[in-house]
C-alpha cells in the first residue's frame, strides 16, 4: 500500500526499464558481502534506477532510525566524506516524520512536494537539512526495508526524481513498484550481510578480551579508513568500478580482523605491567603469523585478503618490519623472523592497513598516553614516508583528510577511557 500526498503521480514513468534490469541489479547486490559496501551500493543502485538526485538509508535500532548513508549528487557529487554525514543522528520510529511513519506503518510513501503536503496526515517534513545546505527537497519516495519475516531493518528514502532534462519531477507509481520490489530483496541481502558483520565483530570482541584497545570502534575506523584510502588510490590508477567494489568488499573485513592473531598471545605478555623482554616482544610480533594461519585453509578471495593483511600489516616499506620472509608460516616453531619485505613486495592491502592502523592508534586516547593531535599524526606519517610507509599512499591519505575526519566522527569510541585507565592502574602501569 502506498500513500500519495497531493497525488498526481498515477502516470507511468517514461524512463525505459524492464524486469531484466531490475533482476540484474538485485543479483548485483546479492554478490556483495561486506555490510557497509552493500548499504552504499543499495542506495546508489536504487537512485540510479529511478534517476533520483539524492537519498538516505536509515537503519533501525530499537525504536529509532539511524542515518547510515547519505548521497546527494547536487551537493556532494564525489560523495566521499558526505556519505558519513549525520551518521550519529537518529529519529524516532513514530508517525511524526516521513521516514518514521514508513518504518512504523510498513507502508511506502510517495510525495510529490514535501513542502505542499495537503492531506490530513500525522507526519511532516523537517526542512533542517535543506536550510543548512541550501538545498530544495521536493519529491520523495520512501520504502521500508522489511525482511521475509516482516522484520524492520530500516528505511530507504529517495529524493528528487529527475526527468531526462534534469528537471525535478514527482516519482511515479512505476518507480514505487520497482523500488518496493528492490527494497524487499535489498532487505534480505542486508540481513545476511549484517549477520556476517556481527560474526566478524564478535571475533574482534574476543581479541578485546585480551587487548582492551582493540575495540569495535577502532577496527571499524581502521576498516573505513582503509576502504577510502584504497578508493582514492584506485581512482588515481584507473581501476575499474567493478574491481573497486570487489576489493572494497574484502578489504574492509580484512582490515577489521588485522590483529585477530592476538588471541594466541598469552595474557601474561599482552597485559604485563612492566617492560617486556626481547623474547616477549617477539612473542607479540608472532600475532601476525597466528592471524594469517587462520585464513590459509581456504582459497576464497576473502581469506586471501585477510591472510595478506594479518601477516603483513607490520612490514615496513624499507624492509625493517616483521615478520619478514618466512618460507613456511605453518611450521610449528618459528623462533626467528626472516628478512623484511620491502616496497611492493608488501601487498597493497597490508600497506594500506599499516597506515590506517597507525593513524588511528596515534589519534586515539590510551591509558598510557593522550591522543596525538590529528595534524601531528599527519606530520609523523610524512616523516616516516619511504621508511615505514608507502610514500604514494601517504600522499593520498593526506589528500582525503576531510573524509578521515568524517569517519572518526561516525565511529566514536563507546568505551570509557576512565574505566580503561583504572584497569591499567590496577595492573600497575
Cell numbers linked to 43: 542506495
Rounded to whole angstroms, how far apart are CA atoms 156 and 106?
A: 12
Neighbours of 326 (CB within 10 A): 18
Selecting among 262, 325, 341, 401, the annotated active-site residue is 262
DSSP lists the bridge partners of residue 5 as: 111
Is-contact 170 8, C-beta < 8 A? Answer: yes
Query: Which DSSP category does 124 fall into?
Result: B
Rounded to whole angstroms, how far apart are CA atoms 231 and 244?
A: 7
CB within 8 Å of 135: residues ≥ 6 apart: 54, 72, 74, 75, 129
DSSP lists the bridge partners of residue 161 as: 52, 169
Is-contact 395 341, C-beta < 8 A? Answer: no
Rounded to whole angstroms, how far apart are CA atoms 404 and 223?
A: 11
Question: Is-cis flag, bond preceding 277, omega within 30?
Answer: no
Rounded to whole angstroms, how far apart are CA atoms 186 and 125?
A: 25
Q: What is the DSSP string of 8-64?
A: ---SPP-S---HHHHHHHHHHHHT--SHHHHHHHHHHHHHHHHTEEEEEEEEEETTE
**Closest alpha carbon to 203 in 82, 73, 295, 113:** 295
Q: What is the DSSP string of 335-371?
A: -S--PPP-GGGS-HHHHHHHHHHHHHHHHS-BTTBPP
| Residue 262 falls in the annotated catalytic set | yes
Q: Hunting for cell 584510502 — which residue is that?
A: 229
**What are the catalytic residues?**
262
Amino acid at each position: 500500500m502506498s500513500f500519495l500526498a497531493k497525488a498526481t503521480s498515477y502516470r507511468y514513468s517514461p524512463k525505459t526499464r524492464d524486469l531484466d534490469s531490475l533482476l540484474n541489479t538485485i543479483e548485483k547486490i546479492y554478490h556483495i558481502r561486506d555490510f557497509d559496501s552493500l548499504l552504499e551500493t543499495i542506495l546508489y543502485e536504487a537512485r540510479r534506477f529511478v534517476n533520483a538526485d539524492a537519498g538516505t538509508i536509515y537503519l533501525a535500532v530499537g525504536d529509532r532510525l539511524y542515518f547510515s548513508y547519505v548521497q546527494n549528487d547536487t551537493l556532494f557529487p564525489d560523495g566521499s566524506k558526505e556519505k558519513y554525514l549525520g551518521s550519529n543522528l537518529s529519529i524516532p520510529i513514530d508517525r511524526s516524520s516521513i521516514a518514521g511513519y514508513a518504518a512504523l506503518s510498513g507502508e511506502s510513501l510517495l510525495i510529490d512536494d514535501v513542502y505542499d503536503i495537503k492531506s490530513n496526515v500525522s507526519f511532516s517534513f523537517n526542512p533542517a537539512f535543506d536550510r543548512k545546505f541550501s538545498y530544495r527537497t521536493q519529491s520523495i519516495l520512501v520504502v521500508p526495508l522489511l525482511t521475509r519475516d516482516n522484520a524492520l531493518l530500516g528505511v530507504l528514502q529517495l529524493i528528487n526524481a529527475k526527468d531526462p532534462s534534469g528537471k525535478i519531477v514527482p516519482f511515479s507509481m512505476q518507480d514505487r513498484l520497482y523500488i518496493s520490489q528492490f527494497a524487499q530483496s535489498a532487505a534480505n541481502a542486508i540481513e545476511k550481510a549484517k549477520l556476517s558483520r556481527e560474526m566478524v565483530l564478535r571475533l574482534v570482541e574476543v581479541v578485546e578480551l585480551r587487548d582492551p584497545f582493540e575495540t569495535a570502534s577502532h577496527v571499524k575506523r581502521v576498516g573505513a579508513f582503509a576502504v577510502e584510502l584504497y578508493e582514492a588510490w584506485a581512482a588515481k590508477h584507473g581501476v575499474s568500478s567493478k574491481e573497486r567494489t570487489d576489493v572494497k568488499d574484502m578489504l574492509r573485513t580484512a582490515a577489521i580482523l588485522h590483529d585477530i592473531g592476538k588471541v594466541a598471545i598469552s595474557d601474561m605478555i599482552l597485559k604485563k605491567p612492566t617492560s617486556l623482554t626481547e623474547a616477549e616482544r617477539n612473542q607479540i610480533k608472532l600475532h601476525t603469523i597466528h592471524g594469517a594461519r587462520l585464513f590459509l585453509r581456504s582459497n576464497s578471495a576473502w581469506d586471501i585478503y585477510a591472510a595478506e593483511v594479518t601477516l603483513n600489516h607490520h612490514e615496513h616499506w624499507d624492509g625493517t618490519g616483521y615478520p619478514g620472509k618466512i618460507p613456511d608460516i605453518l611450521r610449528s616453531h618459528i623462533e626467528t623472523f626472516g628478512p623484511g619485505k620491502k616496497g611492493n613486495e608488501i601487498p597493497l592491502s597490508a600497506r594500506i592497513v599499516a597506515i590506517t592502523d597507525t593513524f588511528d592508534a596515534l589519534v586515539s586516547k590510551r591509558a598510557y598516553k593522550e591522543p596525538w593531535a590529528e595534524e601531528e599524526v599527519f606530520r609523523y606519517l610524512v616523516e616516516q614516508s619511504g621508511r615505514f610507509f608507502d610514500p604514494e599512499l601517504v600522499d593520498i591519505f593526506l589528500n582525503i583528510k576531510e573524509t578521515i575526519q568524517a569517519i572518526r566522527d561516525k565511529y566514536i569510541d563507546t568505551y570509557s577511557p576512565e574505566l580503561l585507565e583504572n584497569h591499567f592502574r590496577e595492573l600497575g602501569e
